Structures are given as C-alpha cells and as structure tokens.
Amino acid sequence: MNTITFTHLSILFAGSFLTTAAGIYLFLKTSLAGYFIDKPDKRKVHRKPIPRLGGIVVVTSTMLFLGIVLLLDLPLTAESENALPLIRAILFASGVILITGFFDDTTFFTVRVRHKLLAELTIAFITVVFLKIHIKDVSFFNLFTLPAWLEMPVSFLWIIGLANAYNLIDGLDGLAGSIALLSFLTIGITAGITGTQPLLTGMIVIILLGSVTGFLLHNLPPAKTFMGDTGSIFLGTMVAILTLFLGKEAIHSRTVIVLPLIAGLPILEVFVTMVRRYFKTRDKKKSQAECLHSMVIPDNSHIHHRLMYKGYSSAQSLTLILILALSLSCGAVLSIILPTYILTFLLFYLFIPVYFTLYQLGFGGRFNKALRLSPTRYNGFRKQSLIGVIDTNGSLSEMLEKKSIHGVTCINISENDIPELHRHLRAAVLKEGTFLSSDTTIKKAEELSWLLKGPVFVVDDSNSELYTILEVSKNGTLSILEKTATVDQLLKELQQLSTTERIRHSIKPMTGSIVKDVQYDPLPVC
C-alpha cells in the first residue's frame, strides 16, 4: 500500500480517538487509577484528588497507530526520504517520554526535574543531530539569513523550550490539550498550504488530533483525569518536532514568524512568567543568583490563575484563553498566505489582543517597571477577594451582597459549602444568632479560619447601628480580636485583606480591641 487516502485518515482519527477515550474510561474504572493521583495544593485549581493518567494513554495510543502506519508502509513510498526520520523521531520521543512520565505520574516514584530535563535533552539531541530534523535556511524577510551553524542549536533549544512551555500552561482543565489541538490543526493547514509533504504531515496530525480529542472528552471542565507531565511534555515535544519539520521543508523565509505563532500561547506564557518572576524577586532586593533561580520556582500567578482571580470560572477562563490562542493560530496561517509587505500590519494587529489581555490581567505594570516606564508595580491589579457569609436568617448576607466595594465580593454560603469553596475564599463572616463569645461559636470560627487560611468575623447584630465583631484567625496561634463596627467599616476591613498571601492577616484594629493569644492546638484534617 503506497498511498494515503481520505478513508485511511478517517480510520486513523477514529481509531486513535476511540482508543484514547475508551482507554482512559476503562483505566478510571479500575483500582490502578489510585496509583496516579494528583493531590490538590495551593498552586492548583482542583479541589479533590484526580488521577493523572490521561497523558500515558495519549502517548500509548499515538505510538500504537504510528506503529500501524509503519507496518502498512503507508507514507514511505508516497512521500520523500524524510518520512521515515520524522516518524522515527516521533516514536523515539514518545517512548522516552512514556517511560519517564510513567514513573513521574505514579505515587510510588519521584522523578526529579533534572531527570526530566535529561530525557528532554536526549530527545532533542537524537532528533536534531542524528535524525536531522531542524530548521534550515532561515532568513528574516530575506534580509538576513541565520548562520548554518546556529540552525541545530536553535532547533535544540526549541524542542526543550516547547516541552517545558506546554508543561507550564497545564494548570487548568482542558487548557494544554485544547491549545495543542489548535497547534496541530494549524500545522496541518500550514503543511497543506505550503505542500510540505501534506500526506505524511496530515497523517501524523490526524493521529495526534484523535488522541488529544479522546483525552479532552475526559479533561474538559470539570476534569475527570489530568494528562500529568507525561502528556504536557509529549504535546510540547510533538508541536516542536512538527514545526521544525515545516521550518526545514518549506517556510524558510517566514520561519521566525510562523513557528512562534503556531505555539504562540505557551511561548507568551513562558516569556511573561520568566520576566514577572525575575523582577518580582529583584524588587525584594535579592541577589542576581536568587533572581535567576526564582524564574523556575512554581507559583500561582499564571494567565489562567489571574482570570480566575477576576471571577471567571474554569470553563470561562478556558474559553477566553482559547480565543486568544485561536487569534495567534489564524495569524500563523495568514502570515504564509499574505505578501511580505502586509506582514508588518498583521503582526501589529495580533499585538493588540495580546497587549490588551496582559494589561487587563495586571501584567502591564510589571513590564512597565522592567522597562523603567512606570513606577507602578502591578498596574492596580488585585485578586478579587471572595468573602463567604454564613448567616442563619439571611439579613446580614443580603446587606453585604448589596454593598458594592472595589475588590470584594460577598456570597451567601452554608457550612456545607466550605470544603468545596475554601480554596477560593479570603475570609468568612459568621452570624448564627447565638451568644457571640460562646465556646461553640469560637471553636467553629477557629476551625473555619484554619481551613480558609484567613480570618473569620463572628458578628452580633443586637445593636441596630454598630455590630459587635470577633475577628478569629488561626495561624500558629489562635488570635481573637474584639471590636465594634458598622457594615461599611467591616467591608473596608475585608477590602484590606492580603490578596497575595492568604496566610498573612494585617488588619488594623478599630475600636475597643482585645487580643487573646492561645497556644496552637493542631486541628484534624477536614
């Protein structure tokens, strides 16, 4: 068999899709899923343990169908001599990632960063040096040609960079998979437009699309499984290898535009994250070594985090990010079709939504400061403070919800909602109608404060004008601060809550303050 038809492509897509979707479904039904659990922590948006086995199934499915293609000898006589090296590169990379990722995503082993980096270095070296898949004859609008001796090093760094870039953005349900899906579609369209072995590239893209779509069936919000480092590094590596193949075969003079746009969102995330971490550490008067080290320390201020701090749900945040990624992907396709003299206008047009998005999410002040354009730090960005109000009769919660104050949103909840919402709440207001300083009320407020990592305001409204308030916070010791305040004063105090460190409480006391310190007595894990 020496040709690839539409029927073959349809079978490959359906086969990889069904294999991945069914494989993950069956995997989740077995006890084996318990050995691949991803537990929530302060950097993650999920609130309960979820298996991270999706990436293993995606890689296995892709390898299976590429192996079938090799056995059937589909593309090797229909395309050029570069077909076999490309497939070998993908199979080799998939195998290394599968072995490394399997141990990394299980709960039995800990694969350190240096071990994963060694795996990525091995993949990049074999792909670029031995299999000769790297950019070639790269020029900047035919004005300046990249020296030949730089082609391999740049390609080497491209593979490692994209592998880690996709790993970096994998922090929201469906995000990394959806971004990769757009990248693969763009690669397929680009190959068709430029005639870069469209049958071979299309066949590989179809298999990857099927595998990723089958995974997204279980990963879109709310996710039933994650891809883990196995899946994110795999997707980034596949995008890197396929784009290098395009850069070698066809788009020489526009490689510097097309390739970054195909992987636009992950590259943007990496660039913003590195710059933000560096200058944030430098602001603290740290050494140059500490500033550089901070660039690789994980945090929770990525683009998807900041969208959620603005009050968007996981699904809404995913949609907004995908719209931005789609704009960049369309720009990649247009940059191939349009004449050279229009490319400058296209890039300026694409710059507008990127700049607007980053500015609205608070990154503008950071870059202005880095460029010494503004003395501001965060451009006024604040995480929205979400305050849970537990009110037995509803009068106080209704009053707080009606009050409008910048940076604070009050929502009426019950005690049963706390386990699900505690990661998103900055504080809580508790009004039960019982005696304010009763042991039961104080104990409940103490437990809530320990869970929220923030203060709990116990309110008594027996006085029609002023409320008697106990501010209870549990941070090493139990602190109880008694005060009187109006509703507006309470809201202003809530507004002052730290939006960057949940564990810190720097509240200025109002009138009649009494502080009690109690020795720390660890509470049971809820």
Which has more confidence, 504 or 497? 497
Mean pLDDT of 463-482: 72
Q: Can you give the pLDDT at residue 507?
A: 32
Mean pLDDT of 356-360: 78
Let me know: does 6 contact 203? Beta carbons within 8 Å: no
Is pLDDT at 400 greater than 50 in this prediction?
Answer: yes
Q: Can you give the pLDDT at residue 156?
A: 92
Is pLDDT at 388 greater than 50 in this prediction?
Answer: yes
- Give the residue from 440, 299, 467 showing the smallest Cα distance to 383: 299
- Retrieve residue 372's tokens: 């010494």
- Retrieve residue 78's tokens: 């229909």
Q: Can you give the pLDDT at residue 522?
A: 34
d(CA 32, CA 35): 6
Is pLDDT at 155 greater than 50 in this prediction?
Answer: yes
Per residue in 442-451, pLDDT (tens digit) is 888 888 887 7
- Retrieve residue 438's tokens: 């009763």
Q: Can you give the pLDDT at residue 515?
A: 35
- Retrieve residue 163's tokens: 């592998």
Q: Can you give the pLDDT at residue 378?
A: 43
Is pLDDT at 12 greater than 60 in this prediction?
Answer: yes
Which has more confidence, 215 or 415? 215
How many CA atoms lie less than 13 Å away from 177 in the CB half-sphere? Answer: 28
Which has more confidence, 302 or 376? 302
Let me know: does 52 contact 228? Beta carbons within 8 Å: yes
Residue ranges per structural domain of the chain: 6-257, 385-518
Angular region, 372: left φ>0, alpha ψ -120 to 50, beta rest: left
Q: Can you give the pLDDT at residue 86?
A: 87
Is pLDDT at 514 greater than 70 in this prediction?
Answer: no
Number of Cβ within a 10 Å radius of residue 412: 16
Which has more confidence, 272 or 407? 272
Q: Residue 183 — very low, low, confident or very high, per pLDDT cuts 50/70/90?
A: very high
Q: What global pTM score does this model have?
A: 0.70
- Retrieve residue 452's tokens: 């929220």
DSSP for 336-389, please give it: HHS-HHHHHHHHHHHHHHHHHHHHHTTHHHHHHHHTTS-S-SSTT----EEEEE
Is pLDDT at 375 greater than 50 in this prediction?
Answer: no
Mean pLDDT of 370-393: 60
Mean pLDDT of 227-256: 86
DSSP for 221-256, please give it: SSPS---HHHHHHHHHHHHHHHHHHHHHHT-GGGHH
Angular region, 38: left φ>0, alpha ψ -120 to 50, beta rest: beta
Number of Cβ within a 10 Å radius of residue 107: 12
Q: Can you give the pLDDT at residue 17?
A: 95
- Retrieve residue 261's tokens: 């746009």
Q: Residue 407 — very low, low, confident or very high, per pLDDT cuts 50/70/90?
A: low
Worst-scoring range by mean pLDDT, 128-142, 171-185, 224-238, 409-423?
409-423
Most confident of 34-38, 105-109, 190-194, 307-311: 190-194
Q: Can you give the pLDDT at residue 120?
A: 92
Q: Can you give the pLDDT at residue 16?
A: 93
> What is the identity of the amino acid at 413?
I
Q: Residue 76 — very low, low, confident or very high, per pLDDT cuts 50/70/90?
A: low
- Angle between helix 228-249 and 175-194 (nearest 10): 20
Q: Can you give the pLDDT at residue 504?
A: 36
Is pLDDT at 468 greater than 80 in this prediction?
Answer: no
Q: Can you give the pLDDT at residue 142?
A: 67
Worst-scoring range by mean pLDDT, 48-62, 255-269, 340-354, 405-419?
405-419
- Retrieve residue 109's tokens: 């082993």
Per residue in 106-118, pLDDT (tens digit) is 877 777 888 888 9
Which has more confidence, 368 or 244? 244
Per residue in 251-304, pLDDT (tens digit) is 767 888 888 999 888 988 888 888 888 877 887 778 888 888 777 777 777 788
* CATH number listed for the domain at residues 385-518: 3.40.50
Mean confidence (pLDDT) of the chain: 78
Q: Can you give the pLDDT at residue 462?
A: 62
